[in-house]
Amino acid sequence: MKIPVIVDAIRSPMARAKPDGALAELHPVDLLSQVLEQLVARNQLDPGTVDDVICGCVSQAGEQAGTPGRLAWLAAGLPAHVPSTTIDRKCGSSQQAVHFAAQAIMSGTQDIVIACGVESMSRVPMGSSRMGKNTTGARFDERYAPGLVGQGVSADLVAAKWGLSRSDLDAYAARSHQRAHAAQSSGAFAREIVSIRSPQALVSADETIRASTTPEKLAGLKAVFESEELSARFPQIQWSTTAGNASQMTDGASAMLIMSEERALQLGLRPRARFVAFDVVGDDPLYMLTAPIPATQRVLAKARMQLGDIAHYEINEAFASVPLAWQKELGADGERLNPRGGAIALGHPLGASGLRLMTTMLHALEDSGQRYGLQSMCEAGGMANATIIEVLR
C-alpha cells in the first residue's frame, strides 16, 4: 500500500460574505483558480502530472454549478487533460476531498491528487441549491415526524443537552476572536494564506476577525432561533444561539497537495505530514451537530491512540455549542482546542472549511514543534468526518 503524504496546504484570506466583502466581486471560479495556480507554482510542480482535482463545494448552484474545481483548474491555465470532480459532504466537503485523495493514493490508482474547496457565500447564498424544493420526501418525513429542525435550533438543543449556558457560548466566541487576532497579529497565518487579486485590490489578510469582541458585547445580541412553536416542542431550550456565537458566512478557498511518499521524494519535495487515520460517521439528525463526538472516538480507536496523545484539536465552530459539547463529553483540554481561533472568528465558507481547518492545524503543529493533530466537523444531516495527521520532521 502506498503512503499518502501532505506536501503543501494553503488557503485564501477569509472575507465577509457581504456586498462590500473583500472577495464579494470575485467569481468563485476565479477565486479558486488563484489558489490552485499558486499551489502548483510554489511547489514547482508539473501540473500535467496531477491525476485528479477533488473539490469540496456545498451550494452547487448558480455560479458554483459547473464543476468548480474543473473550471478553476482551466481558468488557471493548467493542462486540460487533468480531470476534477465535486464533493458535497456539507460542511465537511473539502475534508472529505482530502480523505478521497488520500484513499486514491493508498489504493495505488493515483500518485498526485489536489484536494481543494471553495464557497462564495456572498454570490451563491447558502441553500441556493434547494430553494423552494422539498428535499426530504414523504418516507423521510414520516420517519422523523413531527420534523427535523434547522441547524441553529439543533445548536440550542446541543447546548441544553450538555448544560451550556449563554455565558458559556459567548465566552467561547470571544475567545475564538481573541485567539485568531493573536495569531494574525503575530504573523502565524502568514505561511498558510496566499494573496488573492479581486477586481478592487490584492487581498492578503482575513477580514472576519473582530479584535474588540468581548463576552459583554456578545451578551447584548438577541437569540435568533426562538419561536413559540419551537419553545412548546422543546421546553428544555434556553435559546442562547446568536449571530455572535455562531460561525460567520464567508467567502474563501483552500487547497492541499497530496501525493505518495515515494513520488514526493522522487520529485525532491518534502513530505510535511502523513495521515494516521480517518473516518466518517452519522449521528442523530435532530441534534445534527453531535457527530464529531463519535467520529473522534472512532478515529482514535482506529489509530490506537488516546485523546491526550493529540497536541492540537480542530473542531469546527459551526456554533459555539459544538466544540464546547465535544470538549465536555470527551474531557478535552481547552488549550488545545482551536488554539488559533475557529469559524466564529475566521468564518465558515462551507465547501472550503474542511481544508481551511486542516491547513491551519498543519501550520500550527509545525510552528509549535508538536506531532499529532485531530480534526472533526459537524455536517448537515447529522454526520462528521474525522482525521488524525502526524507532522513529519
| Residue positions annotated with a catalytic role | 91, 348, 378
Nearest Cα to Cα of residue 342 among 239, 217, 277, 250:
250
Q: Are 39 and 73 in contact (CB under 8 A)?
A: no
Peptide bond into 4 cis (omega under 30): no
Quick check: 17 and 208 in contact, CB under 8 A? no
Looking at residue 335, what DSSP letter applies? G
The three grid cell numbers given for residue 240, joined into one nine-digit string:
442562547
Query: Grid coordinates in use for 135?
Result: 428535499
Closest CA to 350 of 373, 323, 380, 322: 380
Largest CA distance in the chain: 64
Q: Rounded CA gap, 351 and 88, in Å?
A: 8
CA nearest 391: which of 5, 102, 105?
5
Q: How many Å apart are CA 169 and CA 195, to the nearest integer?
A: 33
Cβ atoms 350, 120 nearer than 8 A: no
Q: Which residue do the cell numbers 491528487 mark? A: 113
> Would you say 84 and 54 are in contact if contact means Cβ atoms under 8 Å apart?
yes
Q: Count CA atoms closer than 13 A to 187's CA, side-chain side.
A: 1
Residues ≥6 apart with Cβ < 8 Å to 113? 50, 51, 52, 53, 54, 101, 104, 105, 258, 259
What residues contact residue 139 under an 8 Å CB cut-off, 6+ apart?
none
